[in-house]
Amino acid sequence: MKSNNTSIKEDIMQNASNTLLCTSIDIPSTAEYVAVIRLTVAGIASKLNFDIESIEDIKIAVSEACNNVIQHAYTQKNINTSRIKLEIETENNEFRIQIKDKGIGFNPNKIKSSNAENDEKLGLGLGIAFMKSLMDEASIESSPGNGTTITLLKKVPQQ
């Protein structure tokens, strides 16, 4: 029993040492704040030694996730209390950004990622296509009535 407890403790400590950075930002869900967010995230990414090209990729992906919240998550009724929460951390050599809202949510299976070549409706799904092609991973967790969490991942460059 005793040795089991110790090993759990060591696991936690190990995880803690792998978490280099963890911060959260809470902003109103309005377009003028997106530039502030991408500059902040770019600053953190540059501290982590990402190259300029990767930093630009991250800036666009984060902006697309915020755009998605601003354009779709909140209805006129709750517009005054609408917020976007970003959680930013590095763990196990991955830079992870989560973009969360408490809006109306949707069924992610009904949204298709697309580009203009295969979709005549311009712009539809383009933001999602950008997140997926510019990051190592991009996933959407949502259901109607339960808000949305978008998770973006990019491998941290090894020094």
Contacts to another protein by CB under 8 A: 31-32, 34-35, 38-39, 53, 56, 59-60, 63-64, 66-67, 70-71, 115-118, 122-123, 126-127, 129-130, 133-134
Which residue lies nearer to another protein by CB, 59 or 96?
59
| Nearest approach, Cβ of residue 72 and another protein (Å) | 12
Which residue has tokens 């998550």? Answer: 73
Which residue lies nearer to another protein by CB, 61 or 90?
61
| Nearest approach, Cβ of residue 103 and another protein (Å) | 16
Contact 29, 70 (CB under 8 A): yes
- In angstroms, the CA 123 to CA 142 distance is 21
| Nearest approach, Cβ of residue 159 and another protein (Å) | 25
Contact 97, 62 (CB under 8 A): yes
Task: Enter the tokens of residue 58.
Answer: 């991250």
Which residue lies nearer to another protein by CB, 14 or 117?
117
Kindly give the interhelix angle for 34-47 and 52-68, rounded to the nearest 10 degrees. 150
